[in-house]
Structure 1
Amino acid sequence: LNNLAFALKGQKRLEDSAALFQEILAARQSVEGDEDLEPGVANNLADAMYALKRFDEARTHAQAAVDQARQLARQGRPDPELPAYLTTLGQALAALHDPAAGDAFLQALALRRQAIGDDNPRTWQALANAVFYLFNTRQFEAALPHAQRLYEARGSNPLGPATPVGAAFYGLILAELGRNDEAQEPLRRAWELFVAADATNTSFAQRVKKALAE
């Protein structure tokens, strides 16, 4: 049933997908009871609710996934996907304008770094999630060290994706903090990558272009 639910989601049949994930969760609880801890099931339902913009329900199920994963860890059965569950929770909280979203993203990042180190695409994605949230909530001082790590990671690892995200965030945050001279290099790099990706018409690219002109 899980595969069918994911297939429905892939076909953009979001209501059907969410209903099936709910059925899967209810079935597990009726058979195994609340002691059966499968945080991935709750997280799948949270993802489905988020896609439907039912953010309160997404938060509830994502929090359940996080709580279950932490309970498993206390039992000596850590779930390696806890960072993913925290990310889902952070997305739901951010959509609800709840400042606790920042903590969720930063916890996910800390767990990724602890488990797989800094030089890994999944850690970079966790970095990007944290920076994106802190940037959008104008927490520029808090965002800066994470943005710098993201920029340096994407620039130094030959296996990393050549995307403008890290450079753009780092440059824009430096500019917002009034450090315009330092901002120029990452902003120019971001613009070069936007040009290479034929993505100069995006709002993010235009923001970089404007910052370069100032």
Structure 2
Amino acid sequence: MTTRRRAVTEDERGTAAERTRERILRAALEEFGAKGYSGARTAAIAARAGVNQQLISYHFGGKQGLLTELRRRWTETGAGLPPPESSFADSFAAVLDATLERPQWARMVLWQALGDDPGEGGGMSNAQREQLRDGIERLRRRQRDGEISDAPSPEFVMLLAYALTFAPLALPDHVAAILGVDPLSEDYRRIAHDQLMTLLRGPAPASDDACR
């Protein structure tokens, strides 16, 4: 007796296609994070995803389309950032978590910063520069309000926060050798957060006993 195969429904075809798209995007994220846009190859992405290379063109139009979709998703998630009214301590902790819990996304940022970008001119976009300027102004307000020390300039505070956030990805062996912890671990995040906040709180006020 011959068993008749059930016809695949449109919903099932759509679900299968979506799963394929997601596999391709996960593979592209790994490939771009490891090799940058220039070094990534669609054949390698297809191999990672376990799909025919032609499906990348079908679903995304090619390598550029993959990068565009990944960046759109990163922007939509807000990169795990807290609302602007959060304290600097909470904001920095959230940035550390968002960056180091998703290292492949962050490596894409590093590749772009090094100029490995298919867009005109590569590197940082005008929107990203504007975000940095806004961040510096928020730091300046925090200093005026007394939330953090005004001894360092807000520009240097911003630079230091970025350095602490991306050092585990750009210089993992150095971080491990200097601090003796896994660069992507919670131990590193705690050290980076606590030490930066110690610097930005400034010296503790002298006690009455010390003044006698």
TM-score higher than 0.5:
no
Larger Rg: 2
Given the two structures, how large is their TM-score scaled by the length of structure 2? 0.29
Richer in helix (by share): 1
TM-score computed with the length of structure 1 as normaliser: 0.28
Structure number with higher relative contact order (C-alpha < 8 Å, ≥ 6 residues apart): 2
